[in-house]
Chains A and B, each alone.
Chain A
Amino acid sequence: MSLEQFKNRNVGSQTYKMIESEPTPESGMGRFGQVVKRTFKGELFVGLYVTMREMINALFIGEMHTVKYPLEKLPISPRYRAIHDMLRLLESGHYRCIGCGLCEKICISDCIKMDTRYDENQRKEVSEYTINFGRCIFCGYCAEVCPELAIVHGGRYENASEQRAGFSLFEDMLTPIDALKDQKEFDGFGAVTPNADNAIKKTPLAY
């Protein structure tokens, strides 16, 4: 970074619009004159008019500038760290989690717990999985460490609850199988970097 950028202290001079204001009166008479002028200028009614206009636009014409929360929600950045999602493999629909336990280990507030077992197909099955969102600090370590891109942060950020502890089970976070086609990859912590392919050396395979 060149020092030029630091030397230009006209912050925002390109995009900000400067308000043209009258010079501040110096004398007592001048100040009195300014008060009288402002009082009778009718600016008050301009303000009232704007309010009325917006109200009419919003109520009768349907042009609203605020978000009708909770009926509407703002889209959030893909890197936002909200309540976790458990993703599925797109091809088979099987959950991605392999039960490696890394998220459980790395979790800084120790709120992930999991049980695993050897299943009938000789695979490691996640038989039980919980996150205590009362303790989770949404640091994103779990999503970053997950080697399978299985646990990620989703978009649900409303965490208010009546109790201190709030447990989510694996099924609560797992992409519903019928919504698989809408499953989005996570771009935040732990996601594959765009140049990942160039960064690895390929292992030779003989078949």
Chain B
Amino acid sequence: MSNEITIKIDGIEYKTQEGEYILNAARANDIFIPAICYLTRCSPTLACRICLVEADGKRVYACNAKVKDGMEVTTSTEEILEERRAIMEVYDVNHPLQCGVCDQSGECELQNYTLELGVDSQSYMIPDTKREATDWSSVLHYDPGLCIVCERCTTVCKDMIGDAAIKTGPRGGTALDKGLKDTMPKDAYAMWNKLQKSVIVPSNGTGQTDCSDCGECVAVCPVGALVSRDFVYTTNAWDLKRIPATCAHCSSGCQIYYETKPTSIEDSSEKIYRVTNEWNYVSLCGAGRFGYDFENRVEGKDSEAFGSAVAALKKAETIRFNSVISNEEALMLQTFKEKRGVKLVNQDAYAFQKFLKAYSRPAGKLLYGSDFKEVMKSDFVISVGSALRNDNPNARYAFNNVQKMNKGAGLYFHPVGDTLVPTFGKNVECFAHKPGLEEAALYLILDLFAKKEDLPEKVVSYLDGFHSKGRKTIKERVMESITETVVDKETGNAKEVTKKVPKMVEKEVEVENNALVTLLGGSDSFADTFEKMMKKKERFSLIVGEDLYFHPKAENLAALLAMIESTCGMEVVMVPPKTNSLGVALICDLDESPAGYTVGYNEPGDFVLSALGDGDLDMPAMNQQEGTLTNMNKQVTPTNAALEYHGYELNDLMSAVGLGRHLTVDWTPALAEKRGFQAFAFDDLPNGYSNSGEEQRGYALKNPGKRAGNNMPQAFDEDMALDGEIAYRCNPQRQFNDFSDKAHQIFETFALYASPERAEALGEKVEVDFGSGTLACSVVADERMEGDIVKIPDFKSSKDIYTLFGRDRYKNVTIRKV
């Protein structure tokens, strides 16, 4: 696909890739072409038409015309400039003169292009339409008066996020004077004609969006029309200090900017006002965008508490922590373990670490082969064992984006029915199999995609065992010829007329039955569907998630994955369970269960170090410290302190026991002693994107290979499937840990989540009996869930949910109404 070609832009030669849009080719070479409606990674909508250029003498739109070898592009001619000026004039018609209060405050593309194109007078007019500002959800605020209907919000919501929760709706404006068609530039007319007819509305027909509340629409809006409710009129963009960071809520590790300013006139301490992102290259979820105020404000150093913390560390036998922790802190804990022989317990990373090890042996490399940037380039994506909507938003965005942008297809294997995933594309097949049958799903992938000659014979014959020939009666429409005798009324002659009429006949055909498909709950016609899905597909990718790491047969699953990678022409990407589980798994040598005197770090323990402010010694939260995080794309990314912190850090504790370094970030180069990491100084790590969208953040983990070990996966046991009442450990959307929960704009509560029918049957409050313990919680209906399995969140560490679930993610439970 990536053939390098040469094009000429304004007479100068540039290199670019075949299949690239002219606009992107120009941007990658630092050439400016005005463009409003286009979003990198989404489909061109041609709403603004301002990206007009001339390519080989023809007028084309730079955002949707692809480059050809030797193409000559002219970015502006007098005629094009006139067209662009007219477009900007039209955008300015009836646009309220409220830049003075507008939240876009100088970051406005409408302002920029109006000035850029030198629009200093208005030639068009039309009566205005009354449009009132509304709140679409708990976070979204829409002012249609400011909206220029560029459709960036609807595009990102559909093509990237997958919710398609907003669309263009009728504006009720006066129709354009048809005469204008001849008198004004034609693209400007076409743009105006559409603009005058539309505003943006929630797609569900109500005034409220029913979506994931990711706020990506707010981010992409070029004007002040879409703003987060909390931010409206609180500050100007130019007053905010931008701190490049890495979101610490999930393993996606998105690049974000914390934007801070003093709280108020009375309180001069810095406060985070909003989180922004490079929306052309990275999409956030609601937790990252709105869950930013989880800092731990402390007055000063509490030396007494520090003293007891040092004493507690000295007598500690176990340190219990979770993966909302930087690589540096993980290395500190590991160093402490090496010197003091304590146990390190981290429940989310432990299973993942074991799984990685089990995978690494047969696969012959340290880490999984692919990442989500690669997934986005594929055209067939499969997900096994990940609650796509909840576990990792960017895994889901990638799954959705493949459907929308690459004319892709997808297979989604997950026991908990989801109503959103099937809407991502018409070529998405969902298998709501029973929990425990993940091995069967991987076997089915082998069956469908593996080159049989690469598979060990044993596996081939095992797979063949699932195939059987059967006969099936199907209904078929056939055309039948009927011959009738018609008598011509006038002549009286009888005539034979033959007509063809459709008729349904039953027919018996020979079919291939695949017992794996049936076992996984696939439809009978899957073979045909699959054939259609496979048409013109070239690049395949496989996403796997936490269900596999917490599976009783995790090792076998890991072996199957290694086999899939080597025989199916697709590489695997794993979704680490929590923020820095991958980093922790690589750095720390973890133990299964705690024993003796336990120091908890953001986890329960006999002595608790807490960044939540509820422990025995305060620690800085992730937005108050610098360090690096390892994300699911195998990238070690830096994050900076957005807010001040006046207390003690983990490094101070390490110093007190003789293991500390001068600064926390002095541990960054020392990470190199762990496999995969490299010796970079923290201050040398970049954190941004280039004009061509290349990610320049930290460094990529090395993935050293070795000789692949012997690999012979075992057969699966159908009886592993769980039946009966099942609870699934899974967080609601936008909720990942205690920190997202602490943020004031994240409202999702700690409760049992169930499909609407199930929730109604369960009533308001229930008690869930896990056998090893019980949990009382309220019931919340999740409109997007289907089926009987209920979800129990694990984001509150105080509830100790991991212990209730034990080594599993699915658990048979008894639910009692209370």
User: Which residues of A pack against B, CB within 8 Å?
Assistant: 98-102, 104-105, 113-118, 122-125, 128, 130, 147-148, 201, 203-207
In the bound assembly, the distance between CA atoms of A31 and B133 in angstroms comes to: 93
8 Å CB contact of B126 from A101, A105, A206: A206
Q: Is the CB of B239 within 8 A of A207?
A: no
* A116 and B235 contact, CB distance less than 8 A: yes
Chain B residues with CB under 8 A of A102: 100
Give the contacting residue for A117; candidates B122, B233, B236, B266; CB below 8 A: B233
Contact across chains for B265 and A116 when beta carbons are under 8 A apart: no
Q: A204's contact among B101, B120, B125, B238, by CB below 8 Å, is which?
A: B125
> Cβ of B101 and Cβ of A115 under 8 Å apart?
no
- The chain A residue with its CB closest to the CB of B133 is A122
Q: Does B120 lie within 8 Å of A114, measured CB to CB?
A: no
Q: Once the chains bind, are A201 and B239 in contact (CB under 8 Å)?
A: no
Residues of B within 8 A of A204 (CB): 122-125
Cβ–Cβ < 8 Å partners of B133 in chain A: 122
- 29 examples of A-B residue contacts, CB within 8 angstroms: A98-B101, A99-B101, A100-B100, A100-B101, A101-B105, A101-B239, A102-B100, A105-B238, A105-B239, A113-B265, A115-B264, A115-B265, A116-B234, A117-B234, A118-B232, A118-B233, A118-B234, A122-B133, A124-B101, A125-B233, A128-B265, A148-B100, A201-B120, A201-B122, A203-B122, A203-B125, A204-B124, A205-B125, A206-B126
Residue B121 at the A interface, CB < 8 A? yes
Q: Is B127 an interface residue (CB 8 A)?
A: yes
Residues of B within 8 A of A116 (CB): 233-235
Residues 256-298 (chain B) with a chain A CB within 8 angstroms? 264-266
Q: What residues of B have a CB within 8 angstroms of the CB of A124 in the complex?
A: 101, 233
Q: How far is the CA of A148 from the CA of B123 in the complex (A)?
A: 26
Residue from A98, A116, A117 having most chain B Cβ neighbours under 10 A: A116
Central interface residue in B100, B105, B125, B127, by most chain A CB within 10 Å: B100
Which of B100, B105, B124 lies in contact with A98, CB distance below 8 A?
Answer: B100
User: Number of contacting residues on B, CB 8 A?
Assistant: 22
Query: How distant is B228 from chain A, measured CB to nearest CB, in Å?
Result: 11
* Max chain B Cβ within 10 angstroms of own Cβ: one of A104, A130, A203: A203
* Chain B residues within 8 Å of A99, by CB: 101, 233
Name which residue of chain B comes closest to A169, CB basis: B265
Please give me the 6 A-B residue pairs with the lowest Cβ-Cβ distance, nearest first.
Answer: A100-B100, A206-B125, A124-B101, A124-B233, A118-B233, A118-B232
CB neighbours of B234 from chain A (8 A): 116-118
Residues of chain B within 8 A (CB-CB) of A128 are 264-266
Report the minimal beta-carbon distance from B159 to chain A, rounded to whole angstroms: 31
| Smallest CB separation, B87 vs chain A (Å) | 17
Complex: A125 Cα to B234 Cα, angstroms: 9
List A contacts of B122 (CB < 8 A). 201, 203-204
Complex alpha-carbon distance, A206 and B173, angstroms: 13
Q: Which residues in chain B, 119-142, are within 8 Å of chain A measured between CB atoms?
A: 120-127, 133
- A115–B105 alpha-carbon span in the complex (Å): 15
User: CB < 8 Å: which of A105, A118, A125, A205 contacts B236?
Assistant: A105
Give B172 Cβ to nearest chain A Cβ, in Å.
16
Q: How distant is the Cα of A147 from the Cα of B234 in the complex, in angstroms? A: 19
- Complexed CA–CA distance, A122 and B227 (Å): 13
Q: How many angstroms from the CA of A99 to the CA of B98 in the assembled complex?
A: 11
7 further interface pairs, Cβ-Cβ under 8 Å (given A105-B239, A147-B100, A206-B127): A98-B100, A101-B105, A101-B236, A118-B232, A118-B233, A122-B133, A124-B233
A98 and B124 CA atoms in complex are apart in Å by: 28
> Which chain A residues border B100 with CB–CB below 8 Å?
98, 100, 102, 147-148
Return chain A residues, CB-CB under 8 Å to B121: 201, 203
Closest CB in chain A relative to B69 CB, distance in Å: 47
CA gap between A127 and B246 in the complex, in Å: 33
